[in-house]
């Protein structure tokens, strides 16, 4: 039998989608929410600090925070965005990434990052860009 557990964290970050046909091509920001769901066996090992758990919620939170380290109150920009040289001239915190910073791409990146930090199975990663719009990557 396997059990699922999940945790959510939030951060504020700006971005732009350079090829977007509408408003998202402009500089703007969001209050992002990251939700990670783990699915694995419950530990049954007397004396183990995670006895009775899939994963300690604190350890899951730590992995999630490590995956987004430096992102809070930053501006995420694609390394091929034509606005990057101008943005580098500003006194601002930039996160230059190898993908267009859409919710879908951020979720895919975070799925890989969080999984690399944990020994249990990451089942699902959801990135909420707004309260009504999210992207989910599932195993």
Q: How far is residue 110's CA from residue 30's CA, in Å, rounded to a whole number? A: 17
- What are the two backbone dihedrals, phi and then psi, of residue 114, each rounded to the nearest 5 degrees? -65, -40
Q: How far is residue 41's CA from residue 55's CA, in Å, rounded to a whole number? A: 9
129 is catalytic: yes
Query: Pick the catalytic residue: 24, 39, 104, 113?
Result: 24
> Among residues 34, 48, 60, which one has the least CA distance to residue 120?
60
β 94-97/3-15 pair status: unpaired
Q: How far is residue 21's CA from residue 42's CA, in Å, rounded to a whole number? A: 47
Query: Pick the catalytic residue: 35, 37, 105, 129?
Result: 129
Query: Pick the catalytic residue: 28, 73, 88, 133?
Result: 73
Q: How far is CA 108 from the centre of its chain?
A: 8
46 is catalytic: no
Catalytic residues: 24, 73, 129
């Amino acid at each position: 039998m396997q059990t699922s557990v999940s945790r959510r964290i939030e951060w504020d970050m700006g971005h732009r989608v350079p090829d977007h046909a509408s408003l998202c091509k402009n500089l703007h920001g969001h209050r992002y929410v990251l939700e990670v769901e783990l699915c694995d066996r419950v530990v049954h090992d007397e004396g183990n600090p995670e006895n009775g758990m899939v994963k300690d919620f604190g350890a899951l939170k730590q992995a999630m925070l490590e995956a987004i380290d430096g992102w809070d109150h930053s501006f995420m920009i694609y390394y091929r965005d034509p606005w990057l040289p101008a943005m580098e001239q500003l006194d601002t915190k930039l996160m230059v990434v190898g993908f267009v910073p859409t919710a879908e791409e951020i979720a895919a990146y975070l799925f890989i990052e969080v999984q690399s930090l944990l020994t249990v199975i990451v089942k699902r990663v959801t990135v909420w860009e707004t309260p009504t719009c999210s992207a989910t990557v599932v195993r």
